[in-house]
Chain A
Amino acid sequence: MNLSLETLLQLSIALPFFAVIAIVATGRKPNLREGVSIGTGLLLFYCVVKLYNGLKQGADIQVQWLEIIPGLGINFHIEPLGMLFALIASFLWIITTVYAIGYMRKHNEVKQTRFYSFFAIAISAVMGVAFAADLFTLFIFYEVLTLSTYPLVTHAGTDKAKAGGRVYLGILLSTSILFFLMAIISTWMVAGSLAFTAGGVFAGDVNLVLAGAILILFVFGIGKAAIMPFHRWLPAAMVAPTPVSALLHAVAVVKAGVFSIMKVCVFIFGLDLLAILPSTQFLLYLAGITVLLSSLIAMRQDNLKARLAYSTISQLGYITIGALLATSAGVIGGSMHIAMHAFGKITLFFCAGAILVTAGKSKISEMQGLGWQMPVTMIAFFIASLSIIGVPPGGGTWSKWFLLMGTMETQQWALMVILMISSLLNIAYLLPIPLRGFFPKDSIDRSAITVNEAPLPSLMALSLTTVACVVLFVYPQPLYELVQAILNTPGVTNGQ
């Protein structure tokens, strides 16, 4: 099969979307249905890898779908940052589907066909976000992502799920319509273009106060980046089944948020303009406060998924800081952290789900001594935690390294201190879980415990992502090169 790169691009958005038909059609035969999901996942990943190779060889891949309003339409264009996001999301979709097979069946979840269908639509939307050539296209897929994940968040159908879904949809839709759309329309009016352009779209003599206000609208409007005070939707989304929390609320949805912020910073404002905007400083501190506060809140959570959710909010803050620092190191660190955090956090969620379906435990206080029952899971948890904290042998080491360098280059000493304190807090809220798992406070009779791990598909999935965390530490070169390519795009780093 020799498809053109443009076709592959369109396929990567259309494939998961049309897979829904096959998923619904095979709804009565679970094995076949999950086969469809995994098959689509593999095909999708194949497409994305082909695109990646094309991009590496310097191909300029763009597609125009249609024009909705004169001058505004659905357009796609592949650049390294979007490529990175698409690679992560499509790869982890396969893994998550494998994991979900074990989890959903063991947990006797209902309406699994609906679950896999909306999951596929969400992935399709993520691909759209990743490859969007302008803000308008990005916004459309951003909203599709919000709406398609709503049925997943409320999957359980209970009152708690309904309340969670209300907060989820309420915050994400409100911020996107009130601030994000407003920011987009304002950009359209001020700059006359919404296309992602190296070096930004604003003219050199743009009113700095106005542009600064638009930046604030963007950062608040992209609610998926979970900058305080619009972060509440993420803990609320934890009522969803664990595979959803793992892929969507540790990887796809939240990364779509920080990815959008990164795109806006680099390709709408441009690093030069961003560095001199009056509001950048304020937003940096706001992101810093988000990092610190959510780490502190995470410490107080006894529910494992809630703790992980607040940890995610904190880590998203890192990426936002990276984008707003407006330096090469910041962009590299932030973009790398998109990948590093994805692999680390998805592993942690996989572990949380494995513990829930196997041992029936969701509270951290009840997990003492669990390591002897679920050794693989707990070791995976330990390694992934190291990656999130940012110490070897976890891939997170590299991204945090660059982020710290970025704060030093720009002499943001306060932010540097915040990042370091937060890393210490990460240790304090993540590491005790596996450590207490193996060395509980009260001594236990180990001979009475038999090893009882999660279903095999789930176990395989979480082992694989753990290995990926370590591989990203040992061999970060391809990732680094891809991220470096963002900065090599002509015009991105003109002034530096």
Chain B
Amino acid sequence: MAHLPILQVILPLLAAPLCLFLKRPKLVWLFACVVTALTFTISVLLVQQVTSTGAISYELGGWAPPWGIEYRIDALNAFVIMVVSGLSAVVLLAARTSLENELSSNRQTYFYALYLLSLTGMLGILATGDAFNVFVFLEISSLSAYALIAMGKDRRALWASYQYLIMGTIGATFILIGIGLMYQMTGTLNMQDLAERLPEVAQTRTVFVSFAFVVVGVCLKLALFPLHLWLPNAYAYAPSIVTAMLAATSTKVAIYLLIRFTFTVFGLSFSFTTLPLNILFLVLGLLGIFVASISAIYQQNVKHIFAYSSIAQVGYMIVGISAGTAAGLSASLMHIFNHALMKGALFLALAGVMYRLGNVQLKSFQGLGRQMPLTMAAIVVGGLSLIGVPLTVGFISKWYLVVAMIENGWWPVAILILFGSLLAIIYLWRVVEVAYFRAPNKDNESVKEAPLGILIPTWILVLANVYFGVDTRINVQIAQLAAENLFGIVP
């Protein structure tokens, strides 16, 4: 039990090369599923442990921090680890069926190896308490993500992957520079240690610069407007499974990093009082919501629609963080969980459409309401959750976010957030109308429902959208605990 924090990183890391020994796609898939399921189990155990006994500190190799590398699990990262490993596990269930039509069988082995590597990277970022370690794992997860995106059937996937590579590398480099400057000023890389030492040198220009580098670098990774340009194409042209995985997990990890650096490492008073991060985030978050939602309305590719929607959802999370209160932060954390469920469900449903039609252009959706009723119903329920209709998780996020805004006295922001939901209605209803009101075109008349291999994981996530919208013990209470802890640690 004591080794759980490292085990959940090591497990997929060791499993990834083992994938290469299993040649048969079905076997690799089974193996990878078992590994992700184990990782998820570990993450649930971690959450239990953290909520009952408080933060866990694990000394890697037995070296005491701050000299050795420390893995530190508190409510915040245990929560995000659970989201990331849970979603990765469910999405992977659909991989075998979905890849049949999207990837030649001799390359599928590499896919699973990369998938597990990417998961390793993300879990590493989440678990570690060491700033430099963050960079290492960031590179692991990013490099494998670039390769995964490039596996897309569409040749434009290469270009999308290249774009992401450039932007992602700039982001990672910025983060590295930021960390380097921090190290120069304090001589330590341990986050807890940094948090103690940085205030002494807070008023130096080096720390300001380091903060700027880190924040901009992380914002590149999380696709905050206006640094979002790499995201739509990367999502649209990657294999469907990769899209679902990236949308459900990778931006969440970046949001976590942002919270970790601004709240724990630099500290609340530095980020929000010394520097005007709240105004900046508020404006960029709101702009992100509106610009991305409006762009989503004009897209012709459904993956693009949901990709822009993801950028908008990141905007909501950033607005929550910008409130600078425990209520706002917990709303953002809830939205990490809830948005993972929504987008996981939606992109898996799209994987089903991709499997049957070979593309996800809006005009190809004609008549799918009748041809693929369960897949389209999944999109409708996922969409309602995205809008924030009661009894879905989306409503829970919206409720807490608006309450947090009103507590701050930010009435106009509260109204703008609700207004953003209306834009979501518009871009979703374009899909619904095409699917339900147009007669199937010639190609679609013989289209059948998506295979069970994709349908079952999709509906697991759809039902989770409803379940956690009603029973909010996990997503709300742990998020609130995490937020309160952060505000407890950093006065």
Contacts and interface: CB of A to CB of B under 8 A. Distances in A.
B433 interface: yes
Main secondary structure, interface of B, reads helix
B425 A185 contact: no
B429 interface: yes
B364 interface: no
A69 B415 contact: no
A260 B471 CA distance: 26
B403 interface: yes
Interface stretch (A25-33, A80-88, A139-147, A344-352): A139-147
A178 B472 contact: no
A154 B433 CA distance: 10
B241 interface: no
A189 B391 contact: no
Contact of A140 (B390, B406, B437): B390
Contact of B425 (A70, A139, A157, A174): A174
A260 B393 CA distance: 25
A182 B472 contact: no
B422 A140 contact: no
A178 B419 contact: yes
Interface string A140-182: 1001100100000010010001100010011001100110011
B474 interface: no
A68 interface: yes
A189 B425 contact: no
Interface string A51-92: 000000000000000101110000000000000000000000
B407 interface: yes
A230 interface: no
A188 interface: yes
B148 to A, nearest CB: 36
A185 B471 contact: no
Given A162-B433, A178-B418, A189 B406 contact: yes
Interface string B386-399: 01111100001011
Contacts of A186: 406
Nearest to B439: A157
B406 A185 contact: yes
A186 B398 CA distance: 14
Given A147-B384, A185-B399, A188-B403, A140 B425 contact: no
A162 B407 CA distance: 40
Interface in B408-457: 414-415, 418-419, 421-422, 425, 429, 433, 437
Interface residues of B, number: 29
A189 B410 CA distance: 13
Given A69-B472, A162-B433, A182 B388 contact: no
Interface in B237-261: none
Interface string A277-291: 000000000000000
A189 B485 CA distance: 24
Contacts of B421: 177-178
A182 B415 contact: yes
Contacts of A166: 429, 433
A229 B78 CA distance: 49
Contact of A189 (B407, B433, B476): B407
A174 B437 contact: no
B115 to A, nearest CB: 35
A257 B188 CA distance: 62
Given A169-B425, A182-B402, A147 B389 contact: yes
Contacts of B476: 69-70
Contacts of A181: 398, 402, 418
B437 A178 contact: no
Nearest to A70: B476
Contacts of B384: 147
B470 interface: yes
B437 A157 contact: yes
Nearest to A74: B470
B422 A177 contact: yes
Contacts of A177: 387-388, 418, 421-422
Contact of A169 (B429, B437, B469): B429
B471 to A, nearest CB: 7
B431 to A, nearest CB: 13
Contact of B399 (A69, A170, A174, A178): A69
A67 to B, nearest CB: 8
Contacts of A162: 433, 437
Given A69-B396, A69-B472, A170 B415 contact: no
Interface centre among A144, A161, A177, A185 (most CB of B within 10 A): A177
Nearest to A162: B437
A84 B407 CA distance: 38
Nearest to A142: B390
A157 B419 CA distance: 29
Nearest to A189: B406
A148 to B, nearest CB: 12
A139 B472 CA distance: 18
B146 to A, nearest CB: 39
Interface in A168-211: 169-170, 173-174, 177-178, 181-182, 185-186, 188-189
Given A69-B396, A169-B429, A185-B399, A178 B406 contact: no
A172 to B, nearest CB: 11
Contacts of A157: 437
A139 B469 CA distance: 15
Given A169-B429, A178-B419, A182-B418, A66 B390 contact: no
Contacts of B407: 189
Contact of A68 (B396, B398, B406, B433): B396
A170 B429 CA distance: 10
Interface in B357-409: 384, 387-391, 396, 398-400, 402-403, 406-407
Contacts of B415: 178, 182
Contacts of B388: 177
Contacts of B387: 173, 177
Contacts of A139: 390
B351 to A, nearest CB: 25
A185 B414 contact: yes
B425 A68 contact: no
A188 B419 CA distance: 20
Contacts of A174: 422, 425
A143 B390 contact: yes
A422 B419 CA distance: 36
B369 to A, nearest CB: 10
> Which of B389, B390, B414, B470 gathers most chain A CB within 10 Å?
B390
A140 B388 CA distance: 11
A157 B402 CA distance: 36
Contacts of B419: 178
A173 B418 contact: no
B421 to A, nearest CB: 5
A245 to B, nearest CB: 20
Contacts of A147: 384, 389
Nearest to A146: B389
A110 to B, nearest CB: 12
A147 B429 CA distance: 12
Given A169-B425, A182-B414, A154 B437 contact: yes
Given A68-B471, A185-B403, 11 more contacts: A68-B396, A69-B399, A70-B476, A144-B391, A166-B429, A166-B433, A173-B387, A174-B422, A182-B414, A185-B406, A186-B406
21 contacts: A66-B470, A66-B471, A68-B396, A69-B399, A69-B476, A140-B390, A143-B389, A144-B390, A173-B422, A173-B425, A174-B422, A177-B388, A177-B418, A177-B422, A178-B422, A181-B398, A182-B402, A182-B418, A185-B402, A188-B403, A189-B407
7 pairs of A and B residues whose beta carbons are closest in the complex: A140-B390, A162-B437, A189-B406, A174-B422, A178-B418, A177-B421, A185-B402
